[in-house]
Amino acid sequence: MKHGIITEINWKYIAAVLANEGDDVQSDFFKSFVAECKTWGTSYEVQTQLASINAKLTKDEKELLGMITYQSDSEV
């Protein structure tokens, strides 16, 4: 049992549902993900985890996900 959940989580299904939601739901997900990561203690722990995820992504996946953190000149 992990975090009180007694069945296996079908992450591919959850990802498919999230991918078909609107940007409000999707941004809430990423904001919650980041907020949870920030509870771990240090930025180093979060950076290490994110680097590990990054290493498992393809070049195309990294390129597409890069738009999540893209900043326009007006935001800088």
Q: Which domain holds residue 58?
A: 23-71
State the Cα–Cα distance between residues 35 and 16, nearest whole angstrom.
22
> Alpha carbon 59 to chain centroid distance?
17
Question: What pLDDT does 2 receive?
Answer: 61
Domain annotation covers residue 67: yes
Dig out the tokens for 40 from the structure.
Answer: 């771990």
Domain annotation covers residue 54: yes
Over residues 32-63, the pLDDT tens digits come to: 999 999 999 899 999 999 999 999 999 999 99
Task: Say whether pLDDT at 1 is over 50.
Answer: no
By C-alpha distance, which of 24, 22, 52, 23 is closest to 37? Answer: 52
Dihedral, 69, 49, 47, 71 alpha carbons, nearest 10: 0
Task: Say whether pLDDT at 6 is over 60.
Answer: yes
- Domains identified in the chain, total number: 1
Domain annotation covers residue 37: yes
